[in-house]
Amino acid sequence: MGSLSRFISQYAAKPPHLRLHTPGHKGALLSSDITEVDGADNLLSPSGVILESERAAARLFGAGATLFSACGSTPCVYAMLSAFKKAGGKRIAAGRYSHRSLITAAALLDLEIDWLYPTEFMSAKLGAAKIPRHSQAVFVTTVDYFGGRFDPRQLRTDLPILADNAHGAHLVFTNTHPIKQGARFCCDGVHKTMPALTGAAYLHLKNPADYTRLKSHYALFASTSPSYAVLDSLDKCGDFISRGKGKAEEAFAAIARLRQHIENLGIDCFYDDPLHLTLNTKRFGYTGFSFAEAMRNEGAECEYTDFDRVVLLFSVTTTAEDTAPILEIIRTIPRKLPLDEEDFPLLRPKVAMSPHAALYSDTRYLETANAIGGICGGITAPCPPGVPLVMPGEMFGKEEVEVLKRLGVEKVSVVKGWKSTSAPDQLG
């Protein structure tokens, strides 16, 4: 048990005492839900038990330093880019498949983005993307929502690499974690595949000298009332990491066997992450929606579904016994004639203005079909997966509009000053 968890357990185990502090339930709902009481330290400027637990986590990941987050990976992404801006950064190259937190941070900080395009639609895989010479750093997604993985070493660059590994904290049990592959900064959304509460995340730094600077930037975006229950689970997750490699490897093996069994039934699985199974349901005769509904009727709720696929997300604590009923449920779903698969193009919208200028412009909402020629003025990114297809400041071309319509996006935000010839103003 880490220093922080030990303190929280001792505080919660005290004989009945008066909690004359937040939260208002006074421990009745959750005894570990406390605030910055004496000895509990302070997440935004730690010097005691939180700092000790952060240092223990850094050792587990082989990082120079690690920061805890109780607000997920998003403020970690903001902190990375804010530190980049403070150091004089203006232009950053970034994989086009990036979470909305990247574009939001770029807009807030007035950064310019040079997009690196993937080798397939909605994928983190960049191949040997060429980095523009005026870029000053590179932002990459190392595990995407569907389990596609990208090794940042493929970029062959001396520029600092900022890694969004929100879906890949489990790679700590392999040699492929981004911090081991040379990333300068890396965020892990621990709660996604590890035993921790929702909102638990790490921000890893290659250089320990960056700790104070990154902590100050994280404090710009994080809550001053972090959940100690989430921090407690984060600390306990470190305890799992220190002794759980064997269990994680068992989980990887169990899911690999499940993958093979599913493929033997005639259902292809996309991508290669050990804890994501993304099923190509169209070849089995189902849309992702109808396949997920069939699984739901048998008591299994999937992580994500769309027209073509279903995502099954597992944990480092998953066992062979956990996977057995999943296979039985899938076996009960009768195979049908294959359906035509959607073929989405790689979108490369034209840039009309910076993300900052677009998001802070006057905007209106239009039916997507009437937005051709308009400039995107907001972030249209249903979450999951939270990845915008047209970024603020980019133009809606015919191809972009067609893809958005096929994905069910009915309205979009458009910068005012451009007039549609086929629709009246629809102020939002």
Q: Could you report the per-residue pLDDT of 205-250, keeping only the tens digit for each? A: 999 999 999 999 999 999 999 999 999 999 999 999 999 999 999 9
DSSP track, 366-398: EEGGG-TTPBB-S----TTT---SS-TTBB--H
Cα 418 from Cα 93, distance rounded (Å):
29
Strand ordering across the sheet containing 185-188? 65-69, 201-205, 185-188, 161-164, 138-141, 91-95, 112-116
Cβ neighbours of residue 291 closer than 8 Å, sequence gap 6 or more: 279, 281, 284, 305, 310, 333
Cα 195 from Cα 225, distance rounded (Å):
22
Closest C-alpha to 137, from 157, 154, 119: 157
Q: How large is the average pLDDT for residues 411-415?
A: 94
> What CATH superfamily classification does 245-331 receive?
Aspartate Aminotransferase, domain 1 (3.90.1150.10)
Q: What residues does each domain of the chain span?
A: 3-243, 245-331, 355-415
Q: Read off the tokens for 121.
A: 């639609």
pLDDT at 418: 59
Instruction: Give, for 33, the enclosing helix (H) or strand (E).
Output: none
Q: Where are the alpha helices (DSSP H) in 138-227?
A: 211-221
Cα 410 from Cα 394, distance rounded (Å):
18
| 166 within 8 A of 189, measured Cβ to Cβ | yes
Say if residue 37's pLDDT is above 70.
Answer: yes
Mean pLDDT for the chain? 92
Q: Read off the tokens for 223.
A: 């809550």
Unique residue bearing structure tokens 């249209």: 380
pLDDT at 421: 43
Per CATH, 3-243 and 355-415 having the same topology is answered no
pLDDT band for position 271 (cuts 50, 70, 90): confident
DSSP state of 350: P
DSSP track, 399-426: HHHHHHHHTT--EEEEETT---SSS---
For residue 69, the cross-strand partners are 201
Q: Read off the tokens for 245.
A: 């490699």
Closest C-alpha to 342, from 120, 100, 115: 120
Q: Read off the tokens for 166.
A: 């929100």
Q: How large is the average pLDDT for residues 49-65?
A: 97
pLDDT at 419: 53
Phi-psi region of 261 (alpha: psi -120 to 50; beta: other; left: phi over 0): alpha
Query: Around 32, how many Cα atoms within 13 Å sit in the side-chain half-sphere?
Result: 17
Q: Give the domain 3-243 fold.
A: Aspartate Aminotransferase; domain 2 (3.40.640)
Unique residue bearing structure tokens 């395009």: 117
Name the least confident of 4-8, 109-113, 424-428: 424-428
pLDDT, one tens digit per residue, over 342-379 is 778 888 999 999 999 999 999 999 999 999 999 999 98
185-188 and 304-305 strand pairing: unpaired
pLDDT at 382: 64
Q: Give the domain 355-415 fold.
A: Ornithine Decarboxylase; Chain A, domain 4 (3.90.100)
